[in-house]
Amino acid sequence: MKLKVLGASGSKLPGFGLTSFLLDKNILIDTGAAASMLDFDEQLRLDAVLLSHIHIDHSLGLLLMADNLVGSLNKSIQIMSIPEVLDGLREHLFNNQVWPDFTSIPNSKDAIFKLKPMAEGKPVKLGKYTIRAIRVSHAVPTVGFIISDGKSSLLYTADTRATDKIWKEARKIKGLKGVLIETSFPNRLHGLADLSGHLTPHVLLQEINKSGLKVPFYVFHIKAMFVEEVQKEIARLKNSQIRLAMEGATYNF
């Protein structure tokens, strides 16, 4: 599987893209930077979005891409997540107040987006992939995703503070090639990180050790204003498993 980093930041400043990853050429994992990093033809090729939660830094691309694609798309793009996330999306974003309800535009049959609920932990087929949504510990209902093509697998934590269930599930995965893991704040802001449902470098190392996994961990979601501080703290950990998810880079798993 080929994964391109469209955006890896946890906040928006010039030169930093909000969290979004493109799997192959047709599946998005969260959408923060998708509308600004994918050209119009690339947006037209999309078939599905794996949405971890509705915070704007992960869902913004849905709003902007819908506005781009209406009138040009000849299919519906599936938005896949657990019911709580999809209900929140419709209630708080696609509510005809914050943004038009593009789950019923131009009509319910041919809508830009169709919502596809996922039961937690249950495998769902998406083309050649099998996807499972696993609950993590964030400030709002949030899931990470385990993605497998039958030969290799990838784990995406989404936004989370210290968590447990996703590591238990990860240890069962055959062919796990890598983990995309968030780390947002420097160690000195541990209280703020935990309150808002995020990791610091210190807790990142604890989570890696807790996981027992011996694969690369690609860090994303560093807040732009703290990026140098967090990167220095990660470097001081001297853990060869930890790498930075670089915006614009493509990784093969």
Report pLDDT digits (tens) over 167-201. 999 999 989 999 999 999 999 999 999 999 999 99
What CA–CA distance (Å, rounded) separates 113 from 70? 10
DSSP letter at 222?
B
Find the farthest-apart pair of alpha carbons in the chain and give their distance in angstroms, rounded: 54
Write down the residue that tokens 């896949």 correspond to. Answer: 80
Across 181-209, b (16+ Cβ under 10 Å) vs e yields bbbbbbeebbeebbeebbbbbebbbebbe
Instruction: Identify whether the C-beta of residue 222 lies closer than 8 Å to the C-beta of residue 197.
Output: no
Position 24 scores a pLDDT of 96
Position 11 scores a pLDDT of 97
What CA–CA distance (Å, rounded) separates 124 from 203? 31
Q: Which residues contact 52 (CB under 8 A, 6 or more apart)?
A: 29, 30, 58, 81, 85, 142, 143, 144, 145, 156, 158, 159
Q: Kindly report the pTM of this predicted structure.
A: 0.96
Segments of the chain with pLDDT less than 70: none
What CA–CA distance (Å, rounded) separates 114 from 86? 10
Position 108 scores a pLDDT of 87
Instruction: Identify whether the C-beta of residue 157 lies closer than 8 Å to the C-beta of residue 146.
Output: no
Position 174 scores a pLDDT of 87
